[in-house]
Amino acid sequence: MANEKKAVSAITSMDEDFAQWYTDVCTKAELIDYTSVKGMFIYRPYGYAIWENIQAELDRRFKATGHENVYLPVLIPESLLQKEKDHVEGFAPECAWVTMGGSEKLEDRLCIRPTSETLFCEHYKNIIHSHRDLPKLYNQWCSVLRWEKTSRPFLRHREFLWQEGHTMHATADEAREETQRMLNIYADFMENVLAMPVVKGQKTDKEKFNGAEETYTVECMMHDRKALQAGTSHYFGDGFAKAFDITFTGKDNVLHHPHQTSWGVSTRMIGGIIMTHGDDRGLVLPPRVAPIQAMVIPVAQHKEGVLEAAQALLERLRALGVRARLDDSDNSMGWKAAEYEMKGVPLRIEIGPKDMEKGQCCICRRDSGEKSFVPLAELESTVPALLDQVHEGLFARAKKNLEDHTRVCHTVDEVKQFMVSEGGFAKTMWCGELDCELKMKELAGVSSRCIPFAQEQVSDTCVCCGKPAKKMILWGVAY
Amino acid sequence: MANEKKAVSAITSMDEDFAQWYTDVCTKAELIDYTSVKGMFIYRPYGYAIWENIQAELDRRFKATGHENVYLPVLIPESLLQKEKDHVEGFAPECAWVTMGGSEKLEDRLCIRPTSETLFCEHYKNIIHSHRDLPKLYNQWCSVLRWEKTSRPFLRHREFLWQEGHTMHATADEAREETQRMLNIYADFMENVLAMPVVKGQKTDKEKFNGAEETYTVECMMHDRKALQAGTSHYFGDGFAKAFDITFTGKDNVLHHPHQTSWGVSTRMIGGIIMTHGDDRGLVLPPRVAPIQAMVIPVAQHKEGVLEAAQALLERLRALGVRARLDDSDNSMGWKAAEYEMKGVPLRIEIGPKDMEKGQCCICRRDSGEKSFVPLAELESTVPALLDQVHEGLFARAKKNLEDHTRVCHTVDEVKQFMVSEGGFAKTMWCGELDCELKMKELAGVSSRCIPFAQEQVSDTCVCCGKPAKKMILWGVAY
C-alpha cells in the first residue's frame, strides 16, 4: 500500500491543475519523452502502441472504402508550395527550411512538408489524363512539421504523426460525397473505437483550411470542457487543379479539371483520449485501442500452482484475441494495482489460492473501479463483454459531459459568463459575418468550433449583432 | 494480341540494357514516380503495397522477439550528431540541413536524420538507470535522408523508407547475441519471404558502419551478377554509451556502460526483388509479399454465368486468405495477360464458358509461364500449393544464379578477368590488410562484400599480396 500511495501521489489532481495533470499523465504513463529540440517529442513504446492500434483500425476502414496508401517525399520545393496562393500564405510562416544539402547551398530552398496537397498535385498532374484515371483515392501515413511557437505533448508538436488523404474526382458532387464519407468514418471511429462523442459540422470561412472551399470537422469536448478539433475533411473544388494545371479528358471528350478533397487525423487524438477519459489515478484507455486490454496479476504467486493458473488464464485470454499480459514481477500487489491504473489498462484480473479453490478470478474495471468475481468457466463470455461495457461506460460519461456543458446562449455577455463560470460549448445563432466572429473572440474569448450539421433554431437573431440569424453555431475555447 | 505486343515491347530487354530494363520495370509496373526534387521519389500504391507486406512480415518477427516500436524526431541538432566522432565523419557530408524555422534563423542547425543512433542515445540516457531497465529493444519505422549525388529508384534515394532497430544491453555478450539474432531474422526473411538467397558474413573494417565495432551483412546477387547489400546489423560495444554518458547501476551496485546494437533494412529490398526475379516481360513478385497473389480473369465475360463464376472463384480465394482481385474491365484478354505479367502477379486464373462446362479453371504461373487446368473442386488445395511452388521456383533459380557465378580465384588478374567476362562473387583468401582491399578496388574494380560465416580454405595466401591469408572473403561489384 505504501508503494501504491507513492505512485498515486505523484500525479497532480485534475481539479488542482488540469494542465499539470495532463503533463504528468503523459510522462508517468510513459507515453512520451522530451528531447533537446523544443517542440519535438519522442513517442515511447506505450504511446506509439496506441497509435499503431489507431492506425490499424483506420487503415482497415480506408482500404474498405477503396483507398490506397502511398508515400511522397518529406521535402517540398518553395516554388511548388507557392503555386496555390491561400495555401502558401497559411503554411509558409510555420515551415522549417532546408537550405543546405551536404555542403551545397540550395538554389530553391525546400521545406519539410507541413501537409502534402502541393506534392500530391504535382504527382496527380503526371498520372491523371483521362476520366478512366479517376477517382484517385490516396492516403499517406507520415509525419508533418509545423514550426509552432508553443508546444504540448500530443496536442501541439513541431513534428507529429498523422494520415493525410488526398483524392481527385471527376465531378464536384463525387468529391463532396467523399468529403462527407471520410468525415463520417472519423466520427464513427472516434465514437465507436475511442469512445469520444463528437459534434459534426462545418467550419466557418475564418477557420477553414488554407486553400479549401469547405472544411468539415469533428469537435470533441475534453474533461476540462475545452474543445478539441479531432479531425477535419476538406473540399477543395478545382482550385488546386487549376493552379497545378491538372486536367483530364472527360467522357464528353472535353478537357476538365478534377475536383479534390483532403482529410486528416493525427496523434492529437491520443491527447483527446487522455483528456476525455483520464482521472486522478492516471490514464484511462478505451479498450479498443488499449495496447494492453487485460493485465493478469497472480496473488501470492509463490504458492503452489498460482503462477500456472495465471499463465493458463493468460493463454485463454490471448486465444480469445484479447491483448493480455501477465505481471509476475516481484513488485507488490499495491504497486502493480497503481501502475496499471496509471497506465489505464481497462481490466485487471487477479487470481490467487482462494480464487483457485473457488474456480474464479477477480476482475477490476479501470473505468469504474468495480470488482467482480468471475467463474473461470465463464471467462470467454465475460471478458469481451466487460471490455464492451468499459467502452460503453466511457462513452456515456463523455457524452454526459458534452451534453451537460453545451448551453444555449442569447447574448455575448451570457456566452462570456458561461465560459468564465463553467466552460463548455455555447450554442447560439449567428448572422454569418466575420465581424461578429471576431467580436466573439474579443469580447467573450471564444472561437467558433463549427456550424453543426444538426441545426436548431434557438432564436431568430445573431448573438452578437442582433441582425437576422442564418445558422446555429457552437463557440468554445479550443486546444 | 496487338495490345499485348505493344505493352511488352515497351520494356527494354535485360540483355540489351539492364539499367534501362530496371528503370522501365519500376515505372511501367507503376511502382514509383519521379518528382521535381532530384533523388526524391514517390512510392506509388503498387510499390508501397509491397513495402506494407514487407513491414507486416518483419514487424511480426520483431515483436515476437520482444522488440517494441517507437518514433523519434526527424531532426537532429548538429551538436548532438557530433558527439560520436566516427559517426559524424561518416554522415555529416551527406546531411540535409534545416537552418530556418519559420522566419527565425536557428542557432544550432538541424539535420534531417540520416540514421538515429544519436537520438536514441539521448533518449536512452534519460530512461536507462538500473540493470532493471535493460535490455531496451526498440525499433523505428521511418524515412531517412542522405544527400546522395546520384540516385536510382529503390536502390539509392535521397529519402528512403526503412526500419532501424536500436538496442541496449547489460553485457557485450548479450549485445553480440542480439546482433546475430537480427541478422538471422533478416536472412530468414529474405530467403523464405522474398525468395532471395543470401550470403551471411562480416564486413571488413573499411566497409563497416560509421561508429560500429562490427558490422554484419546479408549480401545478395542480382540477375546481372552485381551484389546488393540487403541488410546490416551492427555491434557498437559501449562506444556511443561512453560518448553520450549512458550508465546503469548493475546487480553489483557499480556503474556500467550498456552495450549497443543497431540493424536496418530498407525499401532497397524492393530493388533487390526486381533485379533478382524480374524478366523481359516485367516484374516477377515473390508470392509472400505480392500485393496481388492471384488475378482472376473472366474469358468471354459477356456470356451467361461467366462473371458470376469468376466472382465465386474470387470469393473462394479470398476466403482462403489469398490476396486476389478480379479484372472484369473491357480491356482485351491479351492486354490483361501482358499487364499482369508486367506487374508480376504470381498467378493468373482464367475461367470461361468451356472451363465452366468442365468444372475447371486455367491457372498460369508468372515465374515459369506454365499453364494447368485445375478442377474447381480442388481450388482450395491447389492455389496455396502453387503459390508455394512459385516461391520455391524463384528461390531455386536465384540460388542457382548465385552458385553458378561465385568463383574461387587465386590472383588479382583472375578476379579482374572473372569480373569482365562474367561477373559475380569472386571467392579468395585475404591477409586482412586494408592495403590489399584498396588494391583490389584499384586493380580489379571490386569491393569486399563480406567475410562469409561459412569459411573455406581455398588457398593459403592472400589473393593480392601473397602473404599468409587469414580469411576467405567475397569480392564483387555492388549497387
Comparing CB atoms, the residue among A36, A48, A70 nearest residue B42 is A70
Lowest mean pLDDT among A3-7, A77-81, A100-104, A152-156: A3-7
pLDDT at A286: 98
Smallest CA–CA distance from A90 into chain B, residue? B102
Smallest CA–CA distance from A143 into chain B, residue? B74
A residues 399-458 near B, CB within 8 Å? Answer: none
Which residues in B405-415 are b (16+ Cβ under 10 Å) and which e?
Answer: bbbebeebebb
- The three state secondary structure string of chain B is CHHHHHHHHCCCCCCCCHHHHHHHHHHHCCCEEECCCCCCEEECHHHHHHHHHHHHHHHHHHHHCCCEECECCCEEEHHHHCCCHHHHHHHHHHCEEEEEECCEEEEEEEEECCCCHHHHHHHHHHHCCEHHHCCEEEEEEEEEECCCCCCECCCECCEEEEEEEEEEECCHHHHHHHHHHHHHHHHHHHHHCCCCCCEEEECCCCCCCCCCCEEEEEEEECCCCCEEEEEEEEEEECHHHHHCCCCEECCCCCEECCEEEEEEEECHHHHHHHHHHCECCECCCCCCCCCCCEEEEECCCCCCCHHHHHHHHHHHHHHCCCCEEECCCCCCHHHHHHHHHHCCCCEEEEECHHHHHHCEEEEEECCCCCEEEEEHHHHHHHHHHHHHHHHHHHHHHHHHHHHHCEEECCCHHHHHHHHHHCCCEEEEEECCCHHHHHHHHHHHCCEEEEEECCCCCCCCECCCCCCECCEEEEEECEC
Smallest CA–CA distance from A34 into chain B, residue? B123
Q: Is the pLDDT of residue A252 over 90?
A: yes
d(CA A107, CA A331): 60
CB distance B470 to B432 below 8 Å: yes
**Side-chain-facing half-sphere of B208: CA atoms under 13 Å:** 20
Q: Count other Cβ atoms within 10 Å, centred on residue A8.
A: 16
Whether A119 and chain B come into contact, CB under 8 Å, resolves to yes
d(CA A374, CA A363): 7
* pTM (predicted TM-score): 0.96
B residues 19-58 near A, CB within 8 Å? Answer: 33, 35-37, 40-45, 48-49, 51-52
CB distance B183 to B218 below 8 Å: yes
Q: Which residues neighbour A385 within 8 Å (Cβ) at sequence distance 6 or greater?
A: none
Cis amide bond preceding A135, omega within 30: yes
Question: Shortest Cα distance from A89 to chain B (angstroms)?
Answer: 12
CB distance B115 to B164 below 8 Å: yes
Whether B70 and chain A come into contact, CB under 8 Å, resolves to yes
Q: Is the pLDDT of residue A91 over 70?
A: yes
Give the confidence band of B9 by pLDDT, cuts at 50, 70, 90: low
Q: Is the pLDDT of residue B94 over 90?
A: yes
Smallest CA–CA distance from A136 into chain B, residue? B45
Indicate the DSSP class of residue A263. E
d(CA A240, CA A87): 9
Distances (CA, A) of A473 to A197, A230, A444, A478, B229: 18, 18, 15, 15, 59
Burial classification of residue B139, based on how many CB atoms lie within 10 Å of its CB (0-12 exposed, 13-18 middle, 19 or more buried) = buried
**B contact test, residue of A27, A40, A107 with most B CBs within 10 A:** A40
Q: Is the pLDDT of residue A1 over 80?
A: no
pLDDT at B89: 85
Comparing CB atoms, the residue among A36, A100, A143 nearest residue B122 is A36
B residues 157-186 near A, CB within 8 Å? Answer: 158-159, 161
**Measured CA angle at A92 (ends A89, A98), to 5 deg:** 160
Residue-wise pLDDT for B371-419, tens only, equals 999 999 999 999 999 999 999 999 999 999 999 999 999 999 999 999 9
d(CA A226, CA A55): 26
Is B73's CB within 8 Å of A101's CB?
A: no
DSSP, collapsed to helix, strand or coil, labels residue A6 as helix
Residue-wise pLDDT for B336-361, tens only, equals 999 999 999 999 999 999 999 999 99
B residues 255-314 near A, CB within 8 Å? Answer: none
Comparing CB atoms, the residue among A71, A97, A110 nearest residue B37 is A110
Burial classification of residue B220, based on how many CB atoms lie within 10 Å of its CB (0-12 exposed, 13-18 middle, 19 or more buried) = buried
Is A99's CB within 8 Å of B102's CB?
A: no
Whether B100 and chain A come into contact, CB under 8 Å, resolves to yes
Question: Shortest Cα distance from A267 to chain B (angstroms)?
Answer: 12
Question: Shortest Cα distance from B393 to chain A (angstroms)?
Answer: 30
Residue type, B107: E
User: Taking CB atoms and an 8 Å cutoff, what residues of chain B touch A33?
Assistant: 123, 126-127
Residue type, B264: G
What's chain B's average pLDDT? 96
**Side-chain-facing half-sphere of A314: CA atoms under 13 Å:** 16
Q: What domains can you pick out in chain B, each with its CATH number?
A: 2-277 (3.30.930.10), 294-392 (3.40.50.800), 406-476 (3.30.110.30)
pLDDT at B6: 46
CB distance B98 to A112 below 8 Å: yes
d(CA A317, CA B402): 47
Strands of B471-476's sheet in order across: B68-69, B136-145, B159-169, B259-266, B227-237, B214-221, B199-202, B447-452, B471-476, B425-430, B406-408
Residue-wise pLDDT for B252-301, tens only, equals 999 999 999 999 999 999 999 999 999 999 999 999 999 999 999 999 99
Which residues in B90-116 are b (16+ Cβ under 10 Å) and which e?
Answer: bbbebbbbbebbeeeebeebbbbbbbb
Smallest CA–CA distance from B66 into chain A, residue? A45
Between chain A and chain B, the number of residue pairs with CB atoms below 8 A apart is 147
H-run or E-run covering A246: none
Smallest CA–CA distance from B30 into chain A, residue? A127
Residue whose C-alpha cell reads 542515445 in the numeric block: B121
Q: Is the pLDDT of residue B57 over 60?
A: yes
Mean pLDDT on B450-474: 97
Comparing CB atoms, the residue among B74, B123, B161 nearest residue A71 is B161
Q: Count other Cβ atoms within 10 Å, centred on residue B359.
A: 9
C-alpha cell at A20: 499539470
**A contact test, residue of B27, B32, B37 with most A CBs within 10 A:** B37
d(CA B425, CA B421): 13
User: Taking CB atoms and an 8 Å cutoff, what residues of chain B touch A96?
Assistant: 75, 98, 100-102, 110
pLDDT at A134: 98
